[in-house]
Amino acid sequence: MCYYKVKMDWNDFQKFYKIIENDQLSLFYRGNFADEVTVRLIDISDIHFGRAAKQSQIRKKVAFLMAECFQNVIRHGDVNPLEEGLHEHAGYFMTRNRSGNYFIASGNLIAAQYVNNLRSKIENINRLDQEELKTLYLKVLGTDEISSKGGAGLGLIEMARKSGKKLESDFRKINDRFAFFYLQMLIAADNHKISGDLEDNCTICQSVNLNEILAKNDVLMAYQGDFKQDSILPLLNMIDQNLHNKTPHTSLNKTLFHILVEMLQNIMHHGYTFEDKREGIFIIAVTDQRYKITTANYVENTKAVYLRDLLERFLALTTNELKEVYKKILKEGPRNSDGGAGLGLIDIIRASSETPEYKIMRMDEEKSMFHLNVLL
C-alpha cells in the first residue's frame, strides 16, 4: 500500500487543529463500541476534573452522559458498516471541554427508514421543559412500549433531562438505504448561558465536520489535551484493548504499542510547559492493518532547533548506522539532557516502514509546533 493512503493529510490536520485548538480537552473515537472502550474513555475524561464538589457533580453528569451516548450508538447501531461496505461510516464518539463546558456527541449508521421516527422523537423531547420530561419519562416507564432498542426514546429523554439542554441532532444521507445519525449534548458550566463564540465553534455541524475529517483519514482515535502520566495510561490501555480485539497477538501490535509509548512520552517529557501543562495532540489511523501515528506538540524554540538537527542527522543514516549510533548512546550515555529523545527517535525511525515525516513551525518568541508522522 502506498504511504499517502494512510497518512493524515497535512491540510486536514490543520483544519482539525483549528477547530479544537482552544479546547482544554478533545477526545475522539471511531470503531468498536465495547464496554471496555466506554470505561477507558470515561477514565480519560475524569482525569481532567478538579477535586471541588462542583467539579465532582459535573464529572458524574459527564460520565453518565458519555455512557448513555455509547448506549445510544449500540441501541440504534444495528447496521454493521463493514458488512455493508461502508467502513468509513464507523461509529463515532466525541467529547470536548471548552471553558468548562462539555460537548458530548455520537454518530452511527442507521437504516434510512428510521430517520423520520428518530427526528420526530428528538423534536418532541426538545419542546418539553424539565417537569414535562420527568412526566414523560415516568409515563414511558409505566407502559409496555419499551423494547431492547429503547423504543419509546427513554435514553433520549434521560439525556435531555441530565444535560438540562436541548438535544442537537443531524441526519446525513449516505444512500437510499442508510443515513448517518449524529446526536450532541451540552453540559454548561454552572448552567450559565453559552457565549456566541462557543456556540459557533461547538455546534453539531462542527462535530460532523470533525468526524468527516477523521473518517477521510481512517482515524481510529484522536486526543488533544494535557499529557500527564495518568492521562496516558488509560489512553494506552484503551488502544491496547482495541488492537487485541482486532488482531490479537501479532508482532505488529507489539511494535505499534512500543512506538505509541515512545511518541506519547516524547510529548510528556519534552513538550513545552505552560501553566503546569504539557499539551499536545495524538492521532492514530488504521487501514488494512497498517497504522499511522501522528503527534503534534509545542516545544521551546531552542529545543526545536535541537530536534530538527537530530532528526536530519538520524534520517540521513542507514539502518546499520542507526543501530551503531543507538548502541553508542547506550554505552556512552547522552551528551545532553535531551539524549533520551535521541534514543526514542531512533527507535521510532527504525520501526517505521517508511521514512517518518516531520514539520517544525515557529509559533512565537518562545515556542514552536513539532509535528511528527510515522507509518507502521
pLDDT of amino acid 353: 87
Q: What is the pLDDT of residues 138-184, one digit of tens each?
A: 888 876 554 444 444 788 999 999 888 999 999 999 999 999 999 99
Report pLDDT digits (tens) over 206-242. 999 999 999 999 898 899 988 876 777 777 777 776 6
- SS3 call for 281: strand
Same domain for 237 and 211: no
Q: How many domains does the chain have?
A: 2
Of the two residues 55 and 270, the one the predictor is more confident about is 270
> 157 with 185: CB under 8 angstroms?
no
Looking at residue 28, what is its pLDDT?
Answer: 92
All three cell numbers of 69, joined, read 451516548
pLDDT at 4: 36
Clarify whether residues 127 and 61 are in a common domain: yes
Cα–Cα distance between 103 and 155 in angstroms, integer? 17
* Residue where a domain stops, chosen among 192, 226, 260: 226
Q: Is residue 313 part of a domain?
A: yes
Q: Is residue 15 part of a domain?
A: no
Distances (CA, A) of 275 to 75, 226, 279: 41, 11, 10
Please compute the mean of the pLDDT values over residues 340-360 and round it to a whole number: 86
Query: Residue 182's pLDDT is what?
Result: 94
**Model confidence pLDDT, tens digit, residues 261-286:** 888 888 887 888 888 788 899 998 88
Q: Are residues 126 and 246 in the same domain?
A: no
Give the three-class secondary structure for 288: coil
CATH number at residue 319: 3.30.565
Residues 6+ apart with CB under 8 A from 77: 33, 91, 108, 109, 110
pLDDT band at residue 289 using 50, 70 and 90 as cut-offs: confident
Closest by CA position to 78, among listed 93, 94, 91: 91
> What are the residues whose beta carbons fall under 8 Å from the beta carbon of 12, sequence distance 6 or more?
213, 216, 217
Asked, for residue 9, whether it belongs to a domain, the answer is no
Residue 342 has pLDDT above 80, yes or no: yes
Residue 10 lies in a domain: no
What percent of the chain lies above the pLDDT cut of 70?
Answer: 78
Domain-located, residue 117: yes
Co-location of 48 and 152 in the same domain: yes
pLDDT in tens, 115-137: 999 999 999 999 999 999 999 88
- Asked whether residue 60 is domain-assigned, the answer is yes
Q: Is the domain of 145 the same as that of 250? A: no
Question: pLDDT: is 48 or 342 the higher one?
Answer: 342
Query: Both 207 and 276 in a single domain?
Result: no
Q: What is the pLDDT of residue 99?
A: 83
Asked if residue 64 is part of any domain, the answer here is: yes
Q: What pLDDT sits at residue 129?
A: 93
pLDDT at 63 over 70: yes
Q: Are residues 256 and 280 in the same domain?
A: yes
d(CA 202, CA 171): 17
What number is the average pLDDT over the span 29-45? 70
Q: What is the DSSP string of 137-195?
A: HHHHHTSS---TT-TT-HHHHHHHHHH-SPPEEEEEE-SSSEEEEEEEEEE-GGGPPPP
Looking at mean pLDDT, say which of 268-277, 334-343, 349-358 comes out highest: 349-358
Sign of CA pseudo-dihedral 183, 242, 89, 28? positive
- Residue 78, C-alpha cell as written in the block: 444495528
Please indicate whether residue 314 or residue 249 has the higher confidence score (pLDDT).
314
Cα–Cα distances in angstroms (integers) from residue 51 to residues 44, 46, 98, in the given order: 15, 11, 18
Is residue 19 within 8 Å of residue 205, measured between CB atoms? no
**35, 73: one domain:** yes
pLDDT at 357 over 50: yes
What pLDDT is stored for residue 195 in this prediction? 54
Higher pLDDT, 316 or 55: 316
* Beta-carbon contacts of residue 339 (< 8 Å; ≥ 6 apart): 329, 333
Indicate if 168 and 33 belong to the same structural domain: yes
* Domain shared by 102 and 122, yes or no: yes
Give the domain-ending residue among 197, 226, 255.
Answer: 226
Q: Is residue 5 part of a domain?
A: no
Query: Of 226, 252, 281, at which residue does a domain stop?
Result: 226
**Looking at residue 367, what is its pLDDT?**
92
Give Cβ neighbours of residue 203 (< 8 Å, ≥ 6 apart): 168
What are the backbone dihedrals phi and psi of residue 313, each rounded to the nearest 5 degrees, phi first?
-65, -50
Q: Answer yes or no: do 47 and 159 share one domain.
A: yes
**Cβ contact 220:284 at 8 Å:** yes
Instruction: Give the DSSP letter string of 320-346.
Output: HHHHHHHHHHHHH--SSTTHHHHHHHH
Rounded distance, CA 25 to CA 225, Å? Answer: 5
Note down the domain range covering 222: 28-226
**482539525: which residue's cell?**
16
Q: What is the pLDDT of residue 53?
A: 47
pLDDT band at 6 (very low <50, low <70, confident <90, very high): very low
- The answer to whether residues 221 and 244 belong to one domain is no
